[in-house]
Structures are given as structure tokens and as C-alpha cells.
Structure 1
Amino acid sequence: MASAGESFFEGAEKLLEVWFEFDDDSLESSLRSIDRKVWEDLLKVVKCEIISRTADEDMDAYVLSESSMFVTKDRFILKTCGTTTLLYAVKPLIKLVKEKCRLKQILDIFYSRKNFSRPDLQIGMHRNFSDEVSHLDKQFRNGAAYSLGRINQDCWYLYTLDNAGVERPDQTFELLMWDMCREKMRVFTKDVSENGLDATKRSGICDIIPGAKIDEFLFEPCGYSMNGLLPGGYYITIHVTPEEEFSYVSFESNVPRESYDELVKKVLEVFRPGKFLMTIFANKASVAKDCHKEINDAESLQGYVRQDHQFCIFKNYNLTYTMYSRPIL
């Protein structure tokens, strides 16, 4: 994390999620059978490293120097901020899984990110979404790329596969927030909080989804990352870039909800952003598949006014994109 006033830090993350299908249910046919050292080598390609690991029956969760990584039996999630080179890891990731596990096929891939504040500081293909798409198209024959929101202002990019995808219930909820409340952000500095646990308690993060097994880290002199695990293969992850000049916070979870209204309210109360965009991915088997109907009617929310709203139907997933901001007084 950059200290305030010294240099710019890009809080907006690149998010990659890959679902694999294996030939059998043996222990070798699991991403969790891959050694930590192997993951560390893969992350060198991305230009980040592991800080800590926590696990439960269903998932391994890693706090990284730049965000997080989650590994289940058949799903890999990598979320990295700053000037990391995430997409350079896709080809070696697939090669690794073929070598270490009995890979049958890739069921689906999701790559997404908000538009960067300083794309000129990114490395190689990551300066431009079109270049990222070209890189992915060389590896996947049926890729589909989308841009939601206002391309001349704030928007959100997505690359996925044009196929049936994952059949069991799956959903992902994201809140990407910026223009953050200065007082709320002070909690995520060493001037106010002693460590990650202290910041988790002071901020109220521990109360957003009670009962999560939390692993957190407070950076020096500021910045915060956390992973939380819940039974059933569910997770939450939060990342905070508190510097006033480029403040940014992300919240992500795959916890299933018929409505995310209460969860949104809790997150907004903890962080109080000036602007935020919300995305909800849910496949046809998910209880969240129809939550877009509620969001469609929410022209205002907790003191925020809706700026953009889009709903997309893919072969097996519904996607809702909505952006809100505080009204200009």
C-alpha cells in the first residue's frame, strides 16, 4: 500500500475465477492437493505473495500482499490490486492443473474489473481491456467480453465463456466503493488500529456476516485485507485502500441470498462510500437468481441515487450491474 501523498496505488482489483471439472473424485483430482510452494511460484508471475493462510473443510483462503486467493476442490479465485499482472497466470495455471490433477475440462472462467483510475501505470496488456480480451481469446475459443456502465466514466468489464457453465448453485455478490468517508478510512491505518484484528473490530467488519472465520492483515502504514470463511464453501473478502487521494474498498462474497438488501445496508454503514457499484452473478440453480427484480425497483438506496442499472442474461447466469452515488447538494 502507498502512504498518503507519496505515490498512487490502484485499489481496483483484477478478479479471476476458474471452475474445473475432473475425471474422478479422488484426492488427486482436487486443486487443494496442490502444495503451497506451487501456488507461491504461480503468484510470482502475478507479482504478489502469500501473507497468511486459513482453511476449513471446503476451502483454502490466502491473504496476499495484493488482495486474496481462494482454492476449493474445483474452483480457483484470484483477486489482485495494484499493478499486478494477473492474466499472465492463466496459461501456467491451466498447465499446472493439467499436470497435478486429472483435469477433464474447464467449465467456466470469469475475469472482471472496474475501470482503473490510472491505467497508464498498469503493466502490459492490463492497460487496456481490449488487450486483456485478446490475450484470453488466444486461450479460449468461446470467450465473450462485455462492458457495463458508462465507458467515458465509471464502468465494469467482464470476460466469460459462452457455454452452459456451472450447474450447481453459484452466486457472487460484489460492492466496489470509492470516494470513501475519511473518518471510516482512518480505522485502517496504524495511527488508529494496532493490527488487523483491531481494525476488524473497530470498523464493524466483524458484524457484517457474523460467524465467519476471519483472517485479516493491517499493512504498514495503512491498508487492510481480510478473508472470512463460512461453512458450505462460502467466503467473504474485503480490501481497503484508505488514502484520501485514491480511497477504495471492495467487498465480495458468494453467500447465497434471495435478497442482498440487508447485506448492502450493513456494508454501506461500515464504509460510507461516496460512490459504489454493485454486481450480482447468479446461475439458474441459485436462490439469488431473481434478486435483480428487487434491485430494478431500487432507484435510491440508503441515501444514494442510482446512476446506472443494467441486467444481462447469459446461458446459465443472470448478471445485475448497478451504480449509485450520493446526491450532489
Structure 2
Amino acid sequence: MSSELSMKMSIPFFFEAAEKRLELHLKTTTNTAEKVNLLQYADDFWQHQLNHCGATILTQLKNPHCHAYVLSESSLFVFPHRLILVTCGNCPLVQTATALIEYFGVENITILDFERQQEQQPQYQLSQFVQDAQQLYAKLGGAGHSQNRKFRYFTATAAHSTATSEKLQLSKLKGPHIAAIQKGLFNKSELQHKLGLKQFAANYHLNDWLFEPMGYSVNGLNGKQYFTLHLSPEEESSFLSLETNDRQLSQRLSSYLLQQFSPLQYNTTLANLQRHTVAVD
């Protein structure tokens, strides 16, 4: 890790909760010898890719459909032919994105979706979205499209994606629990209860991490269904995010979280990658 990266990722007085997100789809082929299954890649491979953005695998949860990793900065989900990587803080996610492009080759990538939320303190980021988009555009041979802090690349032969996820993001949290969470009064089991996970995600296998001095991340798997929840309770930048492909869980848990944390700001997003967004010949 460069000294500049180490310095900027260790800024003591502010934690940037705004997220960066990468979703990458690889080509599937009928040629068994050429078929890539990302679930066959070892943990060391993913850690090597994460080194480019300064993230570390803390703990993991696996089933036959997905490998889920809680990171020092959010989460990584690996499926047979696609991955979802979410980071926060000052992680330069674009560096891992470009490393993955180089490793798998542009010719084997059918969809790349990269987005960044607006940071509260953008001056502490190693790059801005426009620079990231330019870097991705160059790596993908001058192809792709950027708009509203999202960069998207689709090949003309990309299959229509049926992978739909729903996202909820809450900021400036209030409500009865946030002060106690900020003081570190809850353990992991108690946080699962306060966040509604024991009630609404009882059929999920959970894997979580409680950060010091504050912060909480949890991944859940239930067959092909997944969710990830991240809580950054710092008073100056409190933030909670939920992403899942389980619509029923999304509806029930989102309603509960809105009631419990009374955010001053929130938004919901339905992410369904569409081939016609942009086609690359």
C-alpha cells in the first residue's frame, strides 16, 4: 500500500460512510474447458484483488451459490459468474475494478457497473468519480457510459440480467437506539435484535463484525438469496445501508429500519441491470 493511500485511509477525525459499488459479470460459455466459476477462486485470490483498494477480508460465509466476505470496508459477494463489491471510507475501489479488468480481460467481461455516492468530505478521497470513470473507460478500450455518478459497460451480446437487488440507504440517523450504539452498549447479538435481523432474517445464515470504536457489518445467505447491512453510527456522518435480492426481506426490514432509526434522509433503489442501457460492439 502506498504511503499516500495509508495516510488518507487513516484520517482520524472523520469516517466517510458514503459507499462505492462495483458489480462485474463474466462471460459464460458452452466450452467446459473455458468456463469460469468464480466460486473456485481461493480466498487469497480475492484478498490480492482487494489489496489494490486497501480492504481486508475479516470473516467469511459460504454456500454452494455464493461466497460472502465481510471486509474492513463493507462487503464482497462472489457468485459463479459475477461479483458485487461494496466499499466505504477512503478506499479507491476503482483500483480493484481495473485490476479485475486486467486479470479477466475485457473480452471476458459482459457487464461492469460502477457507482459512487456523493461523499460528505470528497477532498479526502484519492480520486473523484470523473477520474474513476475516465480510468475505467480507458481500461475498457474506450467503451462505456457514465451518468449521475454511475459508470456502466454492457457488451452487445450480454445476456439480460435477471439479478435484481433492492437497496436502502439511511443517513443522519435518529431514533431510540442510535445513542446507545454510538456508546458501544450493544454486543453483536443485541445489535442483530435491534436491527430486526433476528425477526426478519431468521432463515438466513449470518456472518458479522463489530468494529472498534464503532460500526457494524453483517452479511446473510439463504440459498441464492443474500443481504448485506452496514451501520456507521458516527454522529457527524451516521449512515445505514441495506442491499438484498430478497424482495420480501427488503420490504419488511426496510420498513422496520425506517421506524427504528428515523433518518433525516433516506433513499431506496431497485437495481436491475438492463442490457439496453448501453451496448458495446
TM-score of the two chains, using structure 2 as the length reference: 0.85
What is the aligned counterpart of 1:63 among 67, 70, 73? 70
1:147-296 counterparts in 2 under 5 A? 147=148, 157-163=149-155, 165-181=158-174, 183-189=176-182, 191-194=184-187, 196-232=188-224, 234-256=225-247, 261-282=251-272
Higher helix share: 2
Which residue of 1 is the match for residue 277 of structure 2?
314
What is the aligned counterpart of 1:39 among 31, 37, 46? 46
How far did residue 91 of structure 1 move? Answer: 2.4
How far did residue 32 of structure 1 move? Answer: 1.4
Moved over 6 A (4+): none
Deviation digits for residues 131-186 of structure 1 (CA, Å, limit 9, x no counterpart): 11111110223311111xxxxxxxxx211125454425221211111110153324
Residue 14 of structure 2 corresponds to residue 11 of structure 1 = no
CA contact (8 A) 1:188 1:218 kept: no
Distance 2:181 2:64 in 1: 30
How far did residue 283 of structure 1 move? Answer: 5.1
Which residue of 2 is the match for residue 115 of structure 1?
118
CA contact (8 A) 1:189 1:218 kept: no
Number of aligned residue pairs: 265
How far did residue 111 of structure 1 move? Answer: 0.8
Higher strand share: 1
Distance 2:256 2:270 in 1: 16
Higher mean displacement: 181-190 or 274-283: 181-190
CA contact (8 A) 1:182 1:244 kept: no
Distance 2:197 2:13 in 1: 27
Distance 2:273 2:247 in 1: 11
How far did residue 264 of structure 1 move? Answer: 3.2
Amino acid at match of 2:116: R
Please list every run of 5 or more consecutive structure 1 residues that lacks an aligned counterpart in the other structure.
Answer: 1-5, 148-156, 286-312, 317-329
CA contact (8 A) 2:61 2:207 kept: yes
CA contact (8 A) 2:175 2:262 kept: no
Amino acid at match of 2:122: P
Aligned residues: percent identity?
26
Which residue of 2 is the match for residue 288 of structure 1?
none
Amino acid at match of 1:160: R
Q: Secondary structure at the match of 1:133?
A: helix
Aligned alpha-carbon RMSD (Å): 2.6
Amino acid at match of 1:47: G
CA contact (8 A) 1:22 1:104 kept: no
How far did residue 187 of structure 1 move? Answer: 4.9
Q: Secondary structure at the match of 1:62?
A: strand
Amino acid at match of 1:225: S
CA gap of 1:57–1:190, structure 2 versus 1, over 3 A, is: farther
CA gap of 1:190–1:198, structure 2 versus 1, over 3 A, is: farther
CA gap of 1:219–1:74, structure 2 versus 1, over 3 A, is: same
How far did residue 33 of structure 1 move? Answer: 1.3
Distance 1:276 1:16 in 2: 21
What is the aligned counterpart of 2:26 among 20, 28, 34? 20
How far did residue 205 of structure 1 move? Answer: 2.8
